[in-house]
């Protein structure tokens, strides 16, 4: 039941967004939650550290059960709330294999997006093109891999086929971060651009959209990645 669930989360955090998408898709909206401020280092508060010694979000509780790795939490949600809401992991083996493959594989896009973004955050006005260029090239190659998967699947596909799955919960936050940071997907990766629009319109994505994405305009840090 949603009332037994509690999530500590941060706005724009991809790992948190994965869990929030899965919660909405499983019909668990209305769960208890607390939005933490990274600026005020609330993720290192005693309240969170006693549940999660790494002092990170997501920090997730279901009753007395604590799961803090986003991947583990979403697999747990699908397994615990099977038969409710969207089926995030299909039972047919070929389909299941692809969903699990793409779910774990999406970490590549999340990592490459994160590396470039954190370089910008840490170095602000002191950007070294010799460092940034290879990070951008790596990210571009990675984006094109996902564009290729969608092209191969054909129009109107999610990332592991015709249905929304766990793989979309994991991939979508990284795709949305590309757009947030100024990548013009429609121009550079049109299948991914279409995918972004399709998932963005889902009630689960709208319900969990990062508040600060709504409150401030998109940025241009990644504008020349593609
Ligand atoms: N492995 C974790 C990573 C979570 C993570 O990196 N969270 C970030 C926010 S996106 C965080 O809390 N960073 C603060 C810190 O590491 O001190 C997961 O996927 O759940």
* pLDDT digits 0-9 by tens, 31-66: 999 999 999 999 999 999 999 999 999 999 999 999
pLDDT at 3: 87
Every domain range in the chain assigned CATH 3.40.30.10: 2-80
For ligand 1, atom 19: residue with the closest CA = 70
Q: How confident is the model at residue 226 (pLDDT cuts 50, 70, 90)?
A: very high
- Of ligand 1's listed atoms, the one at least distance from the Cα of 12 is 10
Strands (E), the chain: 5-10, 32-36, 59-62, 65-67
State whether the beta carbon of 62 lies less than 6 angstroms from ligand 1: no
Every domain range in the chain assigned CATH 1.20.1050.10: 93-215
2-80 is classed in which CATH architecture?
3-Layer(aba) Sandwich (3.40)
Q: What angle do CA 83, 208, 118 make, to 5 degrees?
A: 120
State whether the beta carbon of 157 lies less than 6 angstroms from ligand 1: no
Please give the Cα distance from 128 to 120 (Å, whole number): 10
For helices 190-200 and 129-153, the axis angle rounded to 10 degrees is: 80
Residue 213 has pLDDT above 90, yes or no: yes
Instruction: Say what percent of the chain tops pLDDT 90.
Output: 97
State whether the beta carbon of 21 lies less than 6 angstroms from ligand 1: no
Q: How confident is the model at residue 125 (pLDDT cuts 50, 70, 90)?
A: confident
- DSSP at 37: P
Q: How confident is the model at residue 194 (pLDDT cuts 50, 70, 90)?
A: very high
93-215 is classed in which CATH architecture?
Up-down Bundle (1.20)
State whether the beta carbon of 58 lies less than 6 angstroms from ligand 1: yes
Which residues are 60's β-sheet partners?
A: 7, 67
* pLDDT digits 0-9 by tens, 69-117: 999 999 999 999 999 999 999 999 999 999 999 999 999 999 999 999 9
* pLDDT digits 0-9 by tens, 214-224: 999 999 999 99
Ligand 1 centroid to residue 10 C-alpha, Å: 9
């Amino acid at each position: 039941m949603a009332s037994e669930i509690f999530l500590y989360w941060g706005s724009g955090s991809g790992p948190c967004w994965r869990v929030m998408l899965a919660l909405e898709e499983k019909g668990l909206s209305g769960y208890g939650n607390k939005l933490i401020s990274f600026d005020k280092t609330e993720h290192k508060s005693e309240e969170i550290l006693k549940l999660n010694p790494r002092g990170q979000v997501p920090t997730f509780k279901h009753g007395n059960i604590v799961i803090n790795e986003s991947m583990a939490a979403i697999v747990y949600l699908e397994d615990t709330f099977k038969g409710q809401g969207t089926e995030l992991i299909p039972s047919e083996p070929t389909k299941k294999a692809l969903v699990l493959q793409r779910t774990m594989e999406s970490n590549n896009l999340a990592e490459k997006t994160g590396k470039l973004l954190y370089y910008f955050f840490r170095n602000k006005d002191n950007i070294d093109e010799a460092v940034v260029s290879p990070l951008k090239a790596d990210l571009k190659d990675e984006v094109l891999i996902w564009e290729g998967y969608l092209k191969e699947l054909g129009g109107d596909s999610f990332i592991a086929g015709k249905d929304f799955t766990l793989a979309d919960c994991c991939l979508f936050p990284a795709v949305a971060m590309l757009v947030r940071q100024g990548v013009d997907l429609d121009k550079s990766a049109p299948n991914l651009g279409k995918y972004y629009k399709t998932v963005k319109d889902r009630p689960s994505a709208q319900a969990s959209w990062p508040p600060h994405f709504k409150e401030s305009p998109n940025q241009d840090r990644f504008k020349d990645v593609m």
